[in-house]
Structure 1
Amino acid sequence: MRTTEQLVKLARKISESAERLPGADFVQREYEVVEDAMLQTLHRRLRRAVSREPQSSGLLGGPYSPGSNEKTVAGSDRCSDPIQPRSPAQRLQFMMQDAMEQSKEESVRSWANRVLDHIVADEVRILSALSDGSGHAVISVSGSQTLTGQREILLSGISSVVKPARVKVRDLMPVYLSNLNALGLIEFGAINSEFELDYQVLEANSDVMEALGVAQKAGYFRLRCDRKTLKLSRAGNLFWDICNVEDQ
């Protein structure tokens, strides 16, 4: 039985082939409906896969709510007052105890749960597109306000991964990539000559041209498009492996 992830990628290949056939618009619309359903299933399985353990630990549960009551762990006196919320000092003490008691698997699952609390569906799409180990072209626009001044990033997150990932809100790509990078799930490597055509297409992107035009009018110097390669980081691959998407 194929995994949901494999079905998503198979559907993408079929969709790309169908773009050259008569009635491609109708096929594309139908495909997007099917892909959305499969990706929703994939996202639910990602969450379920890292939630297969007791939620009594402060690290394993969801985001801490200061107004919520704390449950006492059976057979222990770790919470002497279950009515009052924990103070920062208490929370730190419990987390240190968790760090000593947790197994390696439990610790990794705790981290994965935290990551899932900080990503959205479009970012899952990006991770899915990168999960096969492929790299994608990514560029940013930079310049300086003086001839010898420090270079500034004026636009970032313009990447060829947006199409295979079927990102819904493309205007948020810089935010998505910035967040995934901050979480340690992706990395930006050196320029890859194999992506030369992709780089050229990205540099002709309307957002890039607009950013360059605005910067020129603002008097920026040494404007250029910086080329890099986008791929999953080691942590990103670990995260994807933890989130077992195999059909159960």
Structure 2
Amino acid sequence: MAEERDPVDRVVARAGRLAGWLARTGWQAAGRLPGGEAAQRQVRKAEKAVLDQVRKRLDGEDPVLAETVVNGEADEVRSAMAGLLRLSTELDREQGRRHVFLSIVRQLVPDEARILAALSDGSVYVLVHVAGRSALGGPQRIVLRNASSVGRAAGVMLPDLVPEYVTRLASLGVVQVGPEDPTLGAQYEILLTEDRVRAAENEVRTVHKLSPRYARRTLRLSALGIQFWDAARPRAL
């Protein structure tokens, strides 16, 4: 006895025959013929059945297909790593440097590029971490890191995300956070009035029931950041 066909296969097979008729007749014209609307419904049903089955199988209900997908992804990862290792033996120092800089560019969002442009002339901007500490002492609880005036100077589109932008840039190694600069006192005071900083201060007081503390720092390009900007600076700048 022939092996029983998959229910989806049966629907698809019937839909295939109907689709052929619809193609010869014309989808719109077929809808006006006897049985035409039913044929259209069958084709749509087949489309939905196939899509549903693919979703289920990719979600792991079909272990064979799931294993194939996983193995395919694993092979892709291995191939990518093999490619990198091959390049590491083929590239010279300058080519390797360009690969590093290109990888940095690909990870940036537009606002982060604006921040790097603002820092590129050697400017130093104020930066603060907002923390809370109990009146009885003990460790500080930091609720906001890397709030900085550089966002305003750079004219970023999303100023509320400046702390996240600076954190990402620091993780890429292109900016560095340094000690407080006492000569920038007025800039620190202005930074403490920004919405994100005030919200963090309010969180310290109302949510954590602690006294706000501010760690004052500075922000500038790192040595890597200077090299990166020299290589990546647009010709128009």
Q: TM-score, normalised by structure 2?
A: 0.63
What secondary structure is seen at the aligned counterpart in 2 of 1:150?
Answer: strand
1:113 aligns with 2:102: yes
Partner of 2:122: 133
State the superposition RMSD in angstroms. 2.3
Unaligned runs of at least 5 residues, structure 1: 1-83
Match of 1:169 in 2: 158
Q: 2:202 aligns with which of 213, 226, 241?
A: 213
- The reply on whether 1:159 has 2:164 as its aligned counterpart is no
Tell me which of the two structures has the higher relative contact order, counting C-alpha pairs closer than 8 angstroms and 6 or more residues apart. Answer: 1
1:185 alignment partner in structure 2: 174
Task: Report the AA paired with residue 136 of structure 1.
Answer: Y
**SS in structure 2 of the partner of residue 225 of structure 1:** strand
Residue 112 of structure 2 is aligned to residue 123 of structure 1? yes
Please state how far the C-alpha of 1:159 moved relative to its aligned partner. 1.5
Q: Which of the two has higher C-alpha Rg?
A: 2
CA shift at 1:121, angstroms?
1.0
**Judging changes above 3 Å, is the alpha-carbon distance between structure 1 residues 101 and 201 closer, same or farther for their aligned structure 2 residues?**
same
SS at match of 1:133: coil
Retained in 1: the 8 A contact 2:126–2:218? yes
Identify if the C-alpha distance between structure 1 residues 92 and 214 changes in structure 2 by more than 3 Å, giving closer, same or farther: closer
Q: If each structure's helix is expressed as a fraction of its own residues, which one has the higher value?
A: 2
Letter in 1 for 2:98: R
SS in 2 for 1:231: strand
Opposite residue 132 of structure 1, the aligned amino acid is D
Displacement of 1:222 after TM fit?
Answer: 4.6
Q: Paired residues, what number?
A: 165
The match for 2:223 is 234
Q: How does 1:1-248 map to 2 (within 5 A)?
A: 86-144=75-133, 147-246=136-235
Asked if the contact 1:147–1:222 (Cα under 8 Å) also holds between the matched residues in 2, the reply is no
TM-score (normalizing by structure 1): 0.60
Task: Rate the CA distance shift 1:210–1:114 in 2: closer, same or farther, 3 A.
Answer: same
Query: Tell me, what secondary structure is at the counterpart of 2:163?
Result: helix
Residues 147 and 117 of structure 1, relative CA distance in 2, 3 Å threshold: farther
